[in-house]
């Protein structure tokens, strides 16, 4: 009988999940001691190249210390034993936190928000992906029963695998794009939500491979084609667990503290965009008219807004305080979920600290607003390329202050190198390499 394996994993600056595996019957030992790791691994790009020079070189050692709360059974594409996976924190040999650990970055943001404001973030990551094999029909029949049935039992297997991993799946549906699917998870505290986002991508890819298909979470797979986003949902509770984002007496139902949080996000969005949509192809999707991000404003009933107030429904027993949440629409799977959620929390905390007034709420179609109205509601503009987004990041001293210096330096080094290589590829190669990487 084959010995099952377990793995201790981290997610790096380009959103790739990496780690080390060992016999699963030794998991208790590894849970105590962790696994060795190399600092320079943080300088890997999405295509497996280590970018040099980087701040680490060949010097130093780390440990990945697993968090038992993240233990999950990850489906095995061969149909054998599932792999037991645990996500972990990167620590120094003496056990102290490593300054460049992405998971620690989010944990610290969560801690600071709660200590300063009493707020805790409840979050969920809503993922889209595409099947890359075209041997089945229908190809483009969004939300249709025909699409669901054509690909069964793929959907059932994905949802079951997510349940087996403890990720609490909610919805599975065929989306607008060609062979595009969406899968959502139940909301959870911020760190748990980001952990789930990391595991979800790996589980989906594995189940899809087992079905003889290939999945990609790449932001865009062909010129003028459909794109895959990651929508990050945010709501807030106080220390007693009471929802505090909703106030029906205020515009959009946004409470004063949630309004300040939203204002902070929009104030710094241009600068941190490179950290939530991190590839050369990301910015082909983030453009007006694509139902992704048409403007940096707070929208209600509007899917062109960077930040959207999600609708409330008067279903039996509905509690609008629990329903109410904000949706950040400027992320994709090329970003690290720990860092993406961490910078959203940091930006929101800046807004709460400064007691910023809530942004103007844009309702309906922004095309129907005057230029003056739209300008008053808009906070800068979406960068048009990764290069521009990196420039904006470097120019914002507030955002760069959130990031440990070596983490920021490594991110910029890796992304500038990725951007240079991206520019050397032909158009078909560009889409292909990202589709394969993600």
pLDDT (tens digit, 9 = 90+) per residue, 151-171?
999 999 999 999 999 999 999
Query: For 208-257, what is each residue's pLDDT tens digit?
Result: 999 888 999 999 998 877 789 999 999 999 999 999 999 999 999 999 99
Structure tokens at 140: 């483009």
Q: Give the pLDDT confidence score for residue 57 in this predicted structure.
A: 93
Q: Are 237 and 104 in contact (CB under 8 A)?
A: no
Q: What are phi and psi of 310, to 5 degrees?
A: -75, 150
Q: What is the pLDDT of residues 9-36, one digit of tens each?
A: 999 999 999 999 999 999 999 999 999 9
Token code pair at residue 1: 């009988």
Per-residue model confidence (pLDDT) at position 349: 98
- Tokens read off for 290: 């694509």
pLDDT tens, position by position, 76-90: 766 678 899 999 999
pLDDT of residue 137: 62
Residue 125 has pLDDT above 80, yes or no: yes
pLDDT at 135 over 70: no
Q: Is the preceding omega at residue 138 within 30 degrees of 0, hence cis? A: yes
| DSSP per residue, 220-277 | BSSTT--B--EEEEEEEE-TTS-B-SB-TTSGGGB-HHHHHHHHHHHHHHHHHHHHHS
Measure the CA–CA gap between 320 and 324, rounded to whole angstroms.
Answer: 6
3-class SS of residue 144: coil
Q: Specify the length of the chain in residues.
A: 438
Of 107, 96, 73, 104, the C-alpha closest to 10 is: 104
Cα separations in angstroms, 371 against 65, 139, 365, 377: 53, 39, 13, 10
Residue 161 · residue 215 · CB < 8 Å: no
Rg (CA), the chain: 21
**CA angle at 271 for the pair 236 and 413, rounded to the nearest 5°:** 115
**pLDDT at residue 375 greater than cutoff 80:** no
DSSP element (H, E) containing 66: strand 62-66
Backbone torsions φ then ψ of 352, nearest 5 degrees = -70, -40
**For range 273-280, the mean pLDDT:** 96
93 close to 14: Cβ distance less than 8 angstroms: no
Domain boundaries, the chain: 105-398
Structure tokens at 107: 């944990």
At 34 the three-state DSSP class reads coil
Q: What is the value of pTM for the model shown?
A: 0.95
Least confident span in 23-27, 49-53, 175-179: 175-179
Q: What is the rounded CA–CA span in Å between residue 263 and residue 360?
A: 9
Average pLDDT over residues 190-217: 95
| Beta-bridge partners for 19 | 9
Q: Which CATH architecture has domain 105-398?
A: 2-Layer Sandwich (3.30)
pLDDT at residue 138 in the model: 60
Measured N-to-C along each axis, helices 256-276 and 386-395 cross at an angle, to the nearest 10 degrees, of: 120
Tell me which residue has tokens 């107030």: 309
pLDDT digits (tens, 9 = 90+) for 346-373: 999 999 999 999 999 988 777 677 677 7
More reliable by pLDDT, 357 or 288 = 357
User: Which region among 4-8, 132-136, 160-164 has the lowest average model confidence (pLDDT)?
Assistant: 132-136
Average pLDDT of every residue of the chain? 92
CB-CB contact of 191 with 110 (8 Å): yes
Percent of the chain with pLDDT over 90: 79
Cα separation of 346 and 402, whole Å? Answer: 7
Cβ–Cβ < 8 Å for 255, 261:
no
Going by pLDDT thresholds of 50, 70 and 90, the confidence category of residue 287 is: confident
Give the count of beta carbons closer than 10 Å to the beta carbon of residue 409.
Answer: 15
């Amino acid at each position: 009988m084959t010995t099952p394996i377990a793995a201790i994993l981290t997610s790096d600056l380009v959103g790739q999940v990496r780690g080390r595996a060992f016999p699963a019957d030794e998991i208790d030992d590894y849970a105590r001691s962790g696994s060795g790791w190399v600092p320079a691994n943080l300088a890997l790009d999405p295509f497996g190249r280590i970018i040099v020079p980087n701040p680490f070189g060949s010097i130093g050692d780390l440990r990945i210390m697993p968090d038992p709360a993240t233990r999950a059974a990850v489906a095995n594409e061969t149909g054998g034993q599932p792999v037991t996976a645990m996500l972990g924190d990167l620590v120094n040999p003496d056990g102290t936190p490593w300054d460049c650990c992405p998971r620690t970055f989010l944990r610290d943001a969560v801690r600071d928000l709660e200590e300063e404001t009493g707020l805790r973030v409840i979050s969920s990551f809503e993922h889209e992906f595409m099947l890359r094999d075209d041997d089945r029909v229908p190809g483009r029949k969004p939300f249709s029963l025909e699409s669901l049935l054509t690909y069964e039992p793929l959907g059932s297997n994905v949802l079951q695998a997510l349940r087996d991993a403890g990720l609490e799946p909610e919805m599975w549906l065929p989306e607008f794009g060609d062979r595009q699917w969406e899968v959502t998870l139940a909301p959870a505290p911020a760190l748990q939500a980001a952990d789930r986002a990391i595991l979800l991508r790996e589980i989906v890819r594995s189940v899809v491979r087992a079905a003889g298909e290939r999945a990609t979470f790449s932001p865009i797979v062909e010129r003028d084609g459909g794109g895959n986003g990651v929508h990050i949902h945010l709501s807030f509770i106080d220390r007693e667990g009471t929802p505090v984002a909703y106030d029906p007496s205020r515009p959009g139902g946004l409470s004063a503290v949630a309004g300040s949080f939203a204002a902070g996000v929009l104030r710094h969005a241009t600068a941190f965009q490179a950290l939530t949509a991190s590839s050369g192809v990301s910015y082909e999707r983030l453009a007006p008219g694509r139902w992704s991000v048409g403007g940096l404003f707070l929208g209600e009933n509007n899917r062109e807004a960077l930040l959207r107030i999600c609708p409330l429904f008067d279903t039996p027993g509905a509690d609008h305080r629990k329903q109410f949440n904000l949706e950040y629409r400027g992320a994709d799977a090329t970003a690290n979920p720990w860092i993406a959620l961490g910078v959203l929390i940091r930006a929101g905390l800046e807004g709460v600290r400064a007691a910023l007034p809530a942004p103007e709420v844009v309702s309906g179609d922004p095309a129907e607003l005057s230029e003056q109205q739209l300008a008053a509601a808009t906070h800068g503009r979406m960068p048009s390329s990764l290069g521009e987004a990196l420039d904006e990041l470097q120019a914002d001293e507030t955002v760069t202050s959130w990031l440990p210096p070596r983490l920021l330096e490594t991110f910029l080094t890796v992304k500038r190198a990725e951007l240079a290589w991206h520019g050397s590829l032909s158009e078909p190669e560009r889409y292909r390499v990202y589709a394969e990487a993600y």
